[in-house]
């Protein structure tokens, strides 16, 4: 079992625990499956919810359509929402799988297999997905009740009196809804780690979410900031390696290929998505991958160059997914470390020392040897029984 400090220093160890081939592979596959599902639904949304044709969507967005600044019909927005839900759900499950691998690694099992973690997720996926879904359902119901009260308030004379009398309860419910919204967003960060470390069901996962927020809110918040800092540093280091590796490849191949490589790479960059101008994303991309922000104008090249550009463009997506998979692996390992620390603080219980479930362990039968007195007593009893049998026969 790996020894932890059970304080903020454990959060920084997420960078090391996340740098694992099997953890990054699980996150990579999750990203790939999530993006493919979103890609299909997003293209359908563009085709049925806008005036875009397939080639117009392809020329503007390539493999990952972003709906920024585009008007959709209401059913188009529903399809896009389903695509986002699919992407989030798949990645929540893969984060849970990586949390399980991290938990077993912390307990000393360095060879815990991906196959076992996926079996675990297959058995406990409901707790991961239904925890935020249950909170969302509660929020929707309470908001719907508030809208119903607003409709009652429109009744002349009676409506305003009704609202006036129930103003304090309405405010209390509204405050509770805001509280549930906070728990709802926290569930996306913490619920996979709760399930991965405790094998809890939906009710127990919700209970732990409320317990963490109520008893360890400031520590949870500080640890999340430290984890975000760790992800930024670790991901930045890997991003620099990827950046200079691509530069080395272009330099080495360009010594012989010359302008042919420049034309192929230019067309390969055309397959990359347009980066949305949101928060710090353009600045980060301009530092690590400026090709994502450059003007993408394809050049006329032979058919063989077009095929090579298409293949390189797909491989560039894989490189980006590889980069993101490390950040997600650090995130997953960090959430496990954070939750183990918080349980130690609030419940004074070490999850790493928790015994395996009886279903996963074969009980050993231990036969106690009789003492000398018991053996003598047993021999005397057998002797007396034999004497009684002899007397009956005589």
Residue 217 within a domain: yes
For the stretch 349-365, pLDDT in tens is 888 885 654 345 445 54
Give the confidence band of 253 by pLDDT, cuts at 50, 70, 90.
confident
Task: Assign 4 to helix, strand or coil.
Answer: coil
pLDDT surpassing 50 at residue 394 = no
Q: What pLDDT does 275 receive?
A: 66
Residue 365 within a domain: no
Mean pLDDT of 222-250: 92
Residue 53 within a domain: yes
| DSSP secondary structure of 346-357 | HH---GGGPPPP
State the total domains in the chain.
Answer: 1
pLDDT surpassing 70 at residue 285 = no
Give the confidence band of 258 by pLDDT, cuts at 50, 70, 90.
confident
Nearest to 294 by CA among 285, 302, 303: 285
Between 274 and 232, the more confident residue is: 232
For the stretch 82-120, pLDDT in tens is 999 999 999 999 999 999 999 999 998 888 888 999 999
Residue 128 within a domain: yes
Between 353 and 315, the more confident residue is: 315
Give the confidence band of 168 by pLDDT, cuts at 50, 70, 90.
very high
Residue 244 within a domain: yes
Residue with tokens 């018991």: 374
Window from 94-103, 127-136, 286-295, 338-347 with minimum mean pLDDT: 286-295
pLDDT surpassing 60 at residue 375 = no
CB atoms within 10 A of CB 261: 19
Q: What pLDDT does 295 receive?
A: 59
Q: What pLDDT does 277 receive?
A: 63
**To the nearest 10°, the Cα dihedral for 189, 191, 193, 196?**
-150
Locate 387 and state its tokens.
């004497």
pLDDT surpassing 80 at residue 173 = yes
343 phi and psi, to 5 degrees?
A: -65, -40
Residue 393 within a domain: no
**To the nearest 10°, the Cα dihedral for 53, 55, 59, 61?**
60
pLDDT surpassing 60 at residue 146 = yes
68 is in which domain, residue-wise? 8-353
**C-beta separation of 359 from 224 below 8 A:** no
Task: Assign 140 to helix, strand or coil.
Answer: helix
CA distances from 263 to 140, 298, 302 (A): 53, 8, 10
Indicate if the alpha-carbon torsion angle 318, 24, 65, 67 is positive or negative. Answer: negative
What proportion of the chain, given as a percentage, has pLDDT over 70? 84
Give the confidence band of 33 by pLDDT, cuts at 50, 70, 90.
very high
Exposed/middle/buried for 164, CB within 10 Å: 0-12, 13-18, 19+?
exposed
Nearest to 102 by CA among 112, 115, 89: 112
Locate 247 and state its tokens.
């530069």
pLDDT surpassing 80 at residue 227 = yes
pLDDT surpassing 80 at residue 245 = yes
pLDDT surpassing 50 at residue 339 = yes
Residue 33 within a domain: yes
Exposed/middle/buried for 273, CB within 10 Å: 0-12, 13-18, 19+?
middle
Give the confidence band of 393 by pLDDT, cuts at 50, 70, 90.
very low
pLDDT surpassing 80 at residue 370 = no
pLDDT surpassing 80 at residue 20 = yes
What proportion of the chain, given as a percentage, has pLDDT over 90? 51
pLDDT surpassing 80 at residue 228 = yes
pLDDT surpassing 80 at residue 322 = yes
Mean pLDDT of 248-277: 82
* Counts of helices then strands in the chain (DSSP H, E): 13, 0
């Amino acid at each position: 079992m790996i020894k932890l400090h059970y304080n903020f220093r454990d959060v920084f160890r997420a960078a090391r625990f996340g740098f694992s081939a099997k953890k990054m592979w699980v996150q990579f596959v999750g990203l790939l499956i999530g993006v493919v599902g979103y890609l299909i639904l997003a293209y359908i949304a563009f085709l049925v919810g806008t005036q875009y044709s397939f080639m117009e969507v392809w020329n503007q967005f390539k493999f990952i359509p972003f709906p920024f600044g585009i008007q959709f019909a209401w059913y188009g927005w529903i399809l896009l929402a389903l695509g986002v839900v699919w992407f989030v759900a798949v990645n929540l499950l893969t984060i849970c799988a990586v949390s399980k691998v991290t938990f077993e690694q912390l307990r000393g099992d360095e060879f815990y297999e991906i196959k076992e973690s996926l079996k675990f997720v297959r058995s406990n996926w409901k707790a991961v997905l239904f925890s935020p879904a249950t909170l969302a359902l509660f929020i929707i119901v309470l908001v719907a009740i508030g809208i119903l009260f607003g409709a009652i308030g429109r009744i002349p004379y009676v409506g305003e009196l009704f609202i006036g009398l129930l103003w304090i309860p309405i405010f209390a419910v509204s405050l509770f809804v805001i509280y549930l919204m906070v728990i709802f967003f926290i569930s996306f960060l913490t619920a996979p780690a709760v399930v991965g470390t405790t094998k809890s069901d939906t009710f127990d996962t919700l209970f732990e979410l409320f317990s963490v927020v109520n008893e360890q809110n400031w520590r949870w918040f500080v640890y999340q900031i430290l984890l975000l800092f760790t992800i930024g540093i670790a991901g930045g280091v890997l991003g620099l390696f990827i950046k200079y590796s691509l530069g080395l490849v272009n330099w080495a191949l360009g010594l012989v290929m010359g302008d042919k490589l420049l034309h192929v790479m230019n067309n390969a960059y055309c397959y990359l998505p347009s980066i949305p101008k949101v928060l710090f994303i353009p600045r980060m991309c301009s530092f690590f991958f400026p090709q994502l922000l450059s003007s993408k104008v394809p050049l006329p090249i032979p058919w063989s160059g077009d095929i090579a550009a298409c293949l390189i463009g797909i491989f560039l997506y894989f490189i980006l997914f590889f980069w993101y998979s490390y950040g997600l692996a650090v995130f997953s390992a960090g959430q496990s470390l954070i939750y183990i620390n918080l349980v130690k603080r609030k419940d004074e219980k070490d999850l790493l020392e928790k015994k395996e479930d009886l279903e996963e362990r074969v009980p050993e039968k231990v036969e106690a040897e009789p003492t000398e007195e018991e053996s003598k007593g047993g021999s005397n009893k057998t002797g007396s029984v034999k004497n009684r049998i002899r007397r009956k026969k005589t």
